[in-house]
Amino acid sequence: MHDGDWVAETATDIRGVLKVMVDAGWLPGGTAVVGTGSMWEFVAVGGIVGGRGDLLSGPDVRYDVASLTKVMATWPLAGRAAREGLLGLDEPLGRYVPGGPYPGGEVTARQILTHTSRLNPVSWLETYVGTEQDLAEAILSEPLDEEGYRYIDRGFILLGLVLERLLGLTLDAAMHDLWREAGMSATGYGPIPRSPAVAPTERRIPGAGPAWGVVHDEAAALMGGIAGHAGLFSTAIDVGAFAREVLRSAEGEEGTLLPAEYVHESWRPAVRLDDRLSRGLAWLVDDEGVVYHHGYTGTSLFLQPTTGRYVGLLTNSVHYGRRRTGLSDLRAAARACFST
């Protein structure tokens, strides 16, 4: 199928699924970007708040992208730091955090990116509230879990903290220029002003207002909204710009966001998860060559490096609760488009 036909048909398919979800009352609305090369199309269905037909979704509305922060912030920043010799992907992270030795001091950035770090998957950050211990030191000080794959946030929390130490900048400051290089003018950490241009997330307490312009993730909230695993707000326009730039980086084009070799390594299967899916560096990689990542709030980004095609989904499906009804169907529809 020609690229133009694929973009148009994929946008139509996603629009249809989103409309079904909105009509069923499963989410207020959502937006998407579908593209390849210099061609892209945007989809917007419904609104950003249930019962408010005047607050419409759109490609310029900012959504809390949740765990897409891992691939839109921490993953590229780690790649840049590795290229500049500041971070060794296979160096024990305890070497970058004074005060050791730590039980978790031998954990590496590669292990964090592949979710094989063995860091404690249970302890909540609330454990450290009111203590005097530095958060990176506290995470490294806990005993390691058994070997194996386990998707956890605290590895990316730790990697973000280490990157801040190495760069001498907070994550939002460190990423600012990188996002602007990619043409992502609306992407950044919160808090951001509550407005019709920002989609609220979950109403956690009945009778109270939803989280609106502040991070949904509880751990990131405890960290002031800036963390390596969550906290980022972005638009469909910027997610599309990011997808384009990463795919260009993979092609080795001059002046791109990331070293081509780092991108290629990230998209090679490193840990087998099941009979069709593996984990690369941060990204999921399926056996058909599609790489992707999801965000808890109802977001996803799919890339197909061989064709240069991509789909970004932004919704606030947690607005009606954490069951997020229909979200798996929406993601499956987006993934299926790469098989046509």
Whichever domain contains 207, its CATH number is 3.40.710.10
Length of the chain in terms of residues written:
340
**Is 268 domain-assigned?**
yes
- Is residue 340's pLDDT more than 70? no
What single letter denotes the amino acid at residue 41? E
- Contact between 225 and 191 under an 8 Å Cβ cutoff? The reply is yes
132 inside domain: no
pLDDT tens, residue by residue, 84-105: 999 999 999 999 999 889 999 9
257 lies in which domain range?
A: 3-74+171-339
| pLDDT at residue 206, as a whole number | 86
- Asked if the structure places residue 41 within a domain, the reply is yes
pLDDT of residue 252: 87
> What is the average per-residue pLDDT within 45-51?
92
> CA neighbours within 13 Å on the CB side: how many for 184?
28
In a domain, 221, yes or no: yes
- Distance between CA atoms of 30 and 21, rounded to whole angstroms? 10
pTM of the model: 0.97
Asked if residue 31 has pLDDT above 70, the reply is yes
> Which pLDDT value is given to residue 87?
98
Query: Rounded mean pLDDT of the chain?
Result: 95
Measured in whole angstroms, how far is the alpha carbon of residue 214 from the centre of its chain? 16
Is 179 a member of any domain? yes
pLDDT of residue 115: 98
Q: How many domains does the chain have?
A: 1
Distances (CA, A) of 72 to 229, 272, 310, 327: 10, 23, 15, 21
Domain assignment present for residue 134? The answer is: no
- Is residue 125 in some structural domain? no
Does residue 131 belong to any structural domain of this protein? no
3-state secondary structure of 62: strand
Tokens 């995470």 -> residue: 139
pLDDT for 187-229, tens place per residue? 999 999 999 999 999 998 888 999 999 999 999 999 999 999 9
Enumerate residues 6+ apart whose C-beta is below 8 A from 321: 202
